[in-house]
């Protein structure tokens, strides 16, 4: 009799344990399903995006926006914040409605200068004379003004005038990133600041600008036939006032 009671008690305990385990399993399964349905915000392309496009430009134009997607459908490496791809360019094309993943973007220094050139523009490098303009201070991403001096000018006297009011700097020396670009005595690009006790490195020998083909012709002609200076524009400068140029007579006029 006692053995039957023991068997019955054990069976009841096993049944309770099985019910508890089943309940915990079902509860865990329910939580897992709920977690998979949890909305996660990721960046999504609003239309097909071509390789080479700037992440900053795409976000500003509203071509990449944040959308809520169930966790189960979030792609591996999906980007949820625009800051993750800030300053980078699209290394691979993206289809409309596709999630943006970090692997699709690279920094210009990794992807190459061609990915930094805006549509309908070309890149042209000019010598960066350390004695003139902003040599050693300009960085990729800055905007500059190009000023030319012809001696003699069109009417026989020297003339200095703004040639290109605004041009975007794509590279300084071989550096296409936002870091300060310097060169060693051997002429190779060196990035970064100055270490304690070191002498100031020589400025990069060239500055590369993004220009329209027509402005490239004007700048190359000015560089060949005159002297070109660059002036750094402020980061908040939106409009550059028009000027008429200066001659010896206008400079000395009171």
Ramachandran quadrant class, 131 (left: phi over 0; alpha: psi -120 to 50; beta: rest): alpha
- Confidence (pLDDT) at 195: 42
CATH number of 39-106: 3.90.1210.10
> What pTM was estimated for this model as a whole?
0.55
Q: pLDDT by residue (tens digit) across 116-157? A: 778 789 999 888 764 465 656 788 888 899 999 988 767 777
**What residue spans define the domains of the chain?**
39-106, 115-252
Task: Transcribe the chain into DSSP letters.
Answer: -HHHHHHHHHHHHHHHHHHHHHHHHHHHHHHHHHHHTSEEEEEEESS-B-TT-BHHHHHHTTSEEEEEEEGGGPPTTB---GGGGTT-EESS-B-TTPBPBGGGEE-HHHH-GGGGSPTT-EEEEEE--TTSTTTTT--TT-EEEEEEEESS-TTSS-EEEEEEEEEEEEEETTB-SSSPEEE-TT--EEES-PPTTPPPPEEPSEEEEEE-HHHHHHHHHHHHHSEEEEEEPPTT---PPP---EEHHHHH--
CA-to-CA dists, residue 5 to 1, 13, 14, 16, 124, angstroms: 6, 12, 14, 16, 95
- In this prediction, residue 185 carries a pLDDT of 37
Q: Which residues of the chain have pLDDT under 70?
A: 1-2, 6, 8-10, 26-27, 29-36, 109, 129-136, 153, 177-203, 237-238, 254
What pLDDT does residue 2 have?
A: 66
């Amino acid at each position: 009799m006692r053995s039957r009671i023991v068997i019955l008690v054990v069976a009841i305990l096993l049944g309770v344990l099985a019910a508890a385990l089943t309940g915990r399993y079902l509860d865990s399964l329910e939580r897992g399903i709920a977690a998979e349905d949890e909305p996660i915000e990721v960046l999504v392309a609003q239309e097909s995006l071509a390789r080479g496009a700037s992440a900053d430009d795409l976000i500003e134009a509203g071509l990449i926006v944040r959308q809520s997607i169930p966790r189960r459908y979030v792609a591996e490496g999906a980007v949820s914040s625009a800051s993750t791809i800030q300053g980078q360019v699209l290394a691979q094309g993206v289809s409309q409605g596709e999630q943006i993943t970090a692997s699709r973007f690279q920094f210009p220094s990794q992807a190459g200068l061609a990915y930094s050139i805006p549509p309908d523009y070309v890149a042209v490098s000019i010598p960066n004379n350390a004695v003139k303009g902003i040599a050693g201070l300009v960085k990729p991403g800055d905007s500059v003004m190009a000023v030319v001096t012809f001696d003699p000018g069109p009417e026989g006297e020297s003339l200095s005038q703004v040639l290109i009011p605004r041009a975007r700097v794509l590279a300084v020396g071989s550096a296409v990133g936002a870091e300060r670009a310097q060169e060693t005595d051997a002429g190779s690009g060196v990035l970064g600041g100055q270490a304690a006790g070191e002498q100031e490195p020589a400025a990069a020998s060239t500055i590369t600008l993004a220009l329209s083909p027509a402005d490239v012709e004007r700048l190359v002609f000015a560089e060949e036939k005159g002297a070109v200076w660059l002036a750094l524009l402020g980061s908040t400068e939106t409009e550059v006032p028009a000027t008429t140029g200066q001659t010896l007579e206008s400079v000395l006029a009171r």
